[in-house]
Chain A
Amino acid sequence: MSGWRHPTLGAVDRARPLAFDFDGQALSGFAGDTLASALLAGGPRILGRSFKYHRPRGLWGMGGEEPNAILDVTIDGQTTPNLRATTEGLRDGMALRSVNAAPDAARDRFGIMDIAHRFLPAGFYYKTFMALGWMRWEPMIRRMAGLGRLDGTHHPPAETPSINATCDVLVIGAGPAGLAAARAAATEGRSVWLVDEAVQPGGSLRWRGGDIDGAPWPDFVADTCAAVHSAGGRILTDTVLWGAFDHGLYAAWERRSDRPDRHWRLRAQDVVLAAGAIERPLWFANNDLPGVMSSEAALHYLHLYGGVAGRCIVLACANDAPYATAAALAQAGCQVTLVDARRDTPTAPDGVHLLRGARVDRAHGLREVGAVSVEGQYIDCDTVLVSGGFTPSVHLHCQAGGKLDFDPATDALIPRAGTASIRTAGAANGAFGLTTALAQGHVAGGGSGPAPRATTPDWTLSPMRPVPGTKGRVWIDPQNDVTLKDVRIAAQEGYRSVEHLKRYTTLGMATDQGRSANFAGLAAMAALTGQTIPETGTTTYRPPFTPVPLSVIGGMRRGEAFSPPKRLPLEGQHRAIGAQFREYGGWLRPAHYGSDEASAQQTEARIARQVAGLYDASPLGKIEVLGPDAAALLDFCGYVRMSTLKPGRARYGFMLSETGIVHDDGVVLRLAEDHFVVSASSSHVTSVRLILEEARQDTFNPASVFLHDVTAHWVTMTVSGPAARALIAGAGIDLPDLPHMGVSETTWQGHPMRVARISFTGDASWEMSVPARHGAALFATLDAARQTHGAVWIGLEALMLLRAEKGYILIGKDTDGITMPHDLGWGGPRDKRADEYFGRRSLFTPEARRPDRRQLVGLETTGTPLPTGAHVLAADGPRRSVGFVTSSYHSPTLGRPIALAMIEAGRDRIGQEVTVFHLGETVSARISAACAFDPEGERLNG
């Protein structure tokens, strides 16, 4: 037996039928349905299988608290896993698939697990699978566990913008209390944002109805919306406010059908939480059978969608709220038996059979409910609706730092006023009745004058809790298959805190976060351990309040936009001559010119040595250090003294970390006594600036030295090679007469140009920097001359080869997290400098003095280049790694492979034979000096 569709009730558009299927079964619903309402009104009862025992499970609730109806939903060929049927709108052509079932929910072969339930209590895997080792069992358990299945082809587009907004009053929840708060605040002239996860404001008024201030509730909603809008506020429906964060930040996910969703980051002067409450189940044997569902949800589906939960219904409760449900169902034509645990009850609604002072002991049925036992009496039914009271939705109050108090009158934990910068009203505050909710909302919204009034009396309730010792299997948390017995086992194991209970049993985890289960869990724990509810405590409430797609949180900054590289001003020019780009150190730079990388690298490197090579060095840092203390700052932050540098000269040096590790290398140019330019390596410009800035502010007089990172102002073109000087002259550029490491500020075509004779290739090189707006002209001029001279543009791959031939290091490639300058052969400053500099003390620790530290050397071999990263094994002694290859290329100039390596005491081993091991293969090599080309440096002088 399943639910059915009432012929007239509900607000669905019956003129627009929608076809869908569930586990291959063709079904239909209407526009305006949710998946849950469509399934309730005509679909199967069994919508999924439970997490552990694979018990059949059906629809329970009406919102984010739904523990059972979790579906994989395919639309337009793309599947999204684990969507709650209660919160997804139905669309034509949807394919719904049950989760945790094989082949489907109705025929799940793993249902056999339930037979073995006695052997699978909470925590069984902590103990049972210790035998043979957990790692052996884990893969099997993981394959069986879990809910939906990921669709590897589904890549949700990164199209959810995150939008910042502020308002005077943020009201969370557009039910009676929220509406009253919003109206009160808006009437006072405050800008109000009213947020609700439903598609329309009204909350429970939408299915419970009622008159407010003598008028039908829709008038109250309309008045409130008009007041909000006229005061400059906004109403966001279909929007889940999913998290409260530090400094008053609230995050909300707005779902939109016609355009991409939006992610709001809201800040408000005042926040009112009116998120309502969630109905609790009742705890009798087999209370998880399909057909057992929330009474309030049944009323919701009946009035909003015309979905009727069943025909022969038992409704169990101990409060007044379900009486409206019973009356409505009876009026809809259902046979309703109301089982109220209280003896003092309201009058039975028309057509409803009322049993006072009675409780349901057990639900009967194998695959769905077919009867219940009430005080030993067997009552046939197809549906059991339950109402065990209400749990206020206090999550956001707690996320905002609020505390809770236990309220015996409502048997609920409610917000403690004044413990969070948020006010709570209505059912979220334990006010389970329309009149009180309206009054609380009015006060929370800062209303003056009388609050809106309703004629509906507030509800009374009698607390209902799980009773330890109840016979049969009583489910506390249906989503995680946690039973009352599991809670008892946890108590017997010695757990007392509900936090421990959660970890031991998994109670309250997963998509519903135990919203319908947590109170029962802690109540059962309290009863079993003889503690009070406050003593037992609550679990910690953390965002998100309800599952939010990662694509929403991630927003638009994914893929290419996640960590975009910096771009060269002349990227277009390079592309026009065939550059193939790649990211290097956060910059997108030409890797090579032409399509074949390997041959292009060799050709470019060869011609650069024979004639000249040109490359774009714009990303090299240009951090200007200015002021009377500029030299002192650079001395302090650098390993190599720069105060002794003369204006017009440049010097290579290192910057160390506090631990003495080489952080960056680069050249410092001195333009004037009080004006330097730090040419940090491309990938370290920011970090070098920050190291300098920290020292500037903390160690120096910050009024005496300043830093300007003007890297992006300049375009730098470098020409290197034996024909470089002639090429530049052929381009009509009047080079100043500079020695190696000389710098000059000159002009070109009337524009500023800085020329530096600095080489990263080992050949005579000129770096020419012009303001970026003149870069294209410089590029064109040099390119024309290049063609005349037979020179080439070289990409970074060729440049890497050329510098490796010279033994020039690349920080992060030829160094690692323990490399110190003396490991690189730069021990001079360490030995000679007596003044303090950054990282100095770390260079003299016992570790830094070890004679067997890895040192930079070269490796010579024959045949193919050594694999970068390959381990170097000593030819004699124990077979162990003494280092590794850091850079390796075939040198077209030398006609053999070259390599750089970091090897223990490497400089003392120069000339020794070693074995290079990589992926099971070994080759022989000989340790050499790092510099393999022009060791005397004659080519530097052109």
Chain B
Amino acid sequence: MVERDWASRMPDPGATLTGEGLLITCHRQAGATLVSGDLDAALAALAPGASMLGLLDPVPTVPFVLRIARDRALVCSDRPLGISGWHDSFAASSADDLYLEITVTGPRASEVVAACLSAPAGSPSTATLFAGIGALVAGLPDGVSLRVQTPDAAALWAHLARLIAVL
């Protein structure tokens, strides 16, 4: 491996990969805020009524909340909320561009999931390894929604491109 020789590239929002029965699309998050602490208070302040999702739970329309840990979650919104700092019982940080969203959809999406995800559904946390890369994984009606930290998106994108060629 030559240290300069990295063929993979960051996917731009809107980029797609296609395979038989598969459509993989890169999206920019509309808005996201990382919250910790009293999650009930955080949700009440930032996304009243939003549902908290665990691993592979189906994604509703925004706002919704992806649980990351017992006391940490990502509030997904339709725009940047611009809220950060300490708020009495919870901490908030702007994370609009922390993740890129990659959706894997189509009849064969489950095969991609099986090749990348070992954790079974049911975990209250969406945070897991997907193809060995840290990601927040939620469900879609015909696939999955992945949020991967932007610097890791190139590696995951390249992996998915190779995977759909060999499945």
Contacts and interface: CB of A to CB of B under 8 A. Distances in A.
A772 B91 contact: no
Given A561-B159, A674-B86, A566 B151 contact: yes
Interface stretch (A130-138, A396-404, A703-711): A703-711
Interface in A567-626: 567-569, 571-572, 580-583, 587-588, 591, 619, 624, 626
19 contacts: A160-B166, A556-B163, A557-B131, A560-B158, A564-B152, A567-B150, A567-B155, A568-B151, A588-B6, A619-B151, A626-B86, A626-B93, A627-B86, A672-B86, A674-B86, A712-B97, A712-B98, A712-B149, A771-B96
Interface string B1-14: 10111111110000
B115 A162 contact: yes
Given A565-B6, A710-B93, 11 more contacts: A163-B115, A556-B159, A560-B1, A624-B84, A626-B93, A627-B91, A630-B86, A672-B86, A712-B98, A712-B151, A713-B95
Interface string B61-95: 00000000001100000001010111000011111
A588 B131 CA distance: 20
A710 B1 contact: no
Interface string A693-719: 000000000110011101111100000
Interface of B: 1, 3-10, 28, 34, 36-38, 71-72, 80, 82, 84-86, 91-99, 111, 114-115, 117-118, 120, 131-132, 149-155, 158-159, 162-163, 165-167
Given A265-B118, A626-B86, A582 B98 contact: no
A628 B91 CA distance: 10
Contacts of A562: 1
A85 B146 CA distance: 45
A879 interface: no
Contacts of A773: 28, 96-97
A314 B51 CA distance: 77
A564 B10 contact: no
Contact of A706 (B6, B8, B36, B131): B36
B133 to A, nearest CB: 8
Interface string A234-274: 00000000000000000000000001100001000000000
Nearest to B29: A773
B36 to A, nearest CB: 4
B96 A713 contact: yes
B166 A260 contact: yes
Interface of A: 158-166, 259-260, 265, 556-557, 559-562, 564-569, 571-572, 580-583, 587-588, 591, 619, 624, 626-628, 630, 671-672, 674-675, 702-703, 706-708, 710-714, 752, 771-773
B114 A713 contact: no
A624 B96 CA distance: 15
A672 to B, nearest CB: 6
State the main secondary structure of chain A at its contact with B: mixed
Contacts of B163: 161, 556
Contact of B7 (A557, A560, A591): A560
Nearest to B94: A713
A435 B5 CA distance: 61
A259 B165 CA distance: 9
Most buried by A among B85, B98, B167: B98
Contacts of A626: 36, 85-86, 91-93
A771 B34 contact: no
Contacts of A569: 10, 97, 150-151
Contacts of A158: 162
A158 B72 CA distance: 36
Contacts of B132: 557
A565 B4 CA distance: 11
B38 to A, nearest CB: 8
A568 B97 CA distance: 12
B36 A710 contact: no
Contact of B3 (A582, A672, A771): A582
A630 B28 CA distance: 31
Contacts of B152: 564, 566-567
A713 B74 CA distance: 13
Given A164-B117, A165-B114, A712-B151, A560 B8 contact: yes
A571 B82 contact: no
Most buried by B among A559, A561, A674, A711: A561
B115 A560 contact: no
Given A164-B117, A710-B34, A564 B85 contact: no
Given A557-B132, A566-B152, A626-B91, A672 B85 contact: yes
Given A159-B166, A561-B159, A706 B94 contact: no
Contacts of A627: 37, 86, 91
B9 A571 contact: yes
Contacts of B92: 626
Contacts of B115: 161-164
Contact of A771 (B85, B86, B94): B94
A772 B151 CA distance: 11
A564 B93 contact: no
